[in-house]
Amino acid sequence: MAMTDDSPTITQGDIGEYLRSLTASPRFGPQIVARRDFPHQNGSYADFPADFPEELIAGMQTMGLDCLYSHQRQALDLIREGKNVIVATPTASGKSMIYNLAVFEKLLANQASQALYLFPLKALAQDQLRVLRSFSSHLGVMRERDQSPAAIYDGDTSPYQRTKIRKKTPPILISNPDMLHLSFLPYHENWSHFFKNLETIVLDEVHTYRGVFGSHMSWVIRRLLRIANHYGANPVVIMLSATIGNPDQFGETLLSRPVELVSRSGAPSARKQMILFDPWDSAAHTVSQMVEAAVKRDLRTIVYTQSRKMTELITLWTRPRLGENSHKLSSYRAGFLP
């Protein structure tokens, strides 16, 4: 359970007070088996490449970004050299900016350039579509084109939209491994224009591709690259994960090709405290009590579970005890309708 402690003042919504209460509690205190304090880290920055497109730099500056983090620059340099990359830096370290900058640089240089973004969850795809539309709105050339910079092609895409996307594919196509396996690769002749110009493949959250599912995904990627080669393309693969212990070995196994690792983050980070529990009761019951205490202190809290059922159960158990704060708790899970 990671918590950020930014203020020493004991007030409503003070994480420090919450942690002190948790540690001093005669019930929860003895269940703490480890505690670690990670100090604040300053950022490490780098300039844009000397030959980077002026329009991209100007677009970044309109968003208030005058430079890159050091790991973003390192990854961009490798991608521009045509190397496959796996970026394994913490959450909120600007990983998505790496592949978006790389892809838009290619789009500005070649209007026919195509990119494929694969996400394991539909919610991630929707988030990225919003980011791409916002980012492209800052680029004059992209605004002048009579086409959206990206589109989602997944199980929620209507037959009409699928046909429209296939006939006039936007520069960036966002999908998931299942749709790639079922709708793209078996009918690659219908997507020949896309595969012919495919220059970049983005695999986000690659740590989800482990075990049996990962072995399937490895073969799907091999087939994808083979079909791209068949149409004369040799795309660069960009992989990303914030939670993986052996990223370089994992990336090379998944891709069956050499991979360059970028793992030293240049992004600044706030002080963090991590507490490890060995609960007396079930983990879910303990979490429910901890969430109750956090929400009543107006602390922004998130709980990750391994199943839809547990997501709903923790919500069901916790909400009745929150009283007037019950509206502040909600569940979010895979399986919701669009």
pLDDT in the model for residue 158: 93
Burial status of residue 41 (CB atoms within 10 A of its CB: 0-12, 13-18, 19 or more): middle
pLDDT in the model for residue 119: 93
pTM for the model: 0.85
pLDDT in the model for residue 144: 56
Model pLDDT for residues 44-65, shown as the tens digit of each residue: 999 999 999 999 999 889 888 9
Nearest in space to 114 (alpha carbons), one of 86, 162, 149: 149
For each of the domains in the chain, give its residue range(s) and CATH number, in order of start: 2-40+270-328 (no CATH), 45-262 (3.40.50.300)
First to last CA, the chain: 30
Model pLDDT for residues 78-88, shown as the tens digit of each residue: 999 999 999 99
> CA 65 → CA 60, 88, 106, 110, 208, distances in Å?
5, 22, 20, 25, 31
As a whole number of Å, the CA-based R_g of the chain is 23
Query: What is d(CA 302, CA 4) in angstroms, rounded to the nearest whole number?
Result: 13
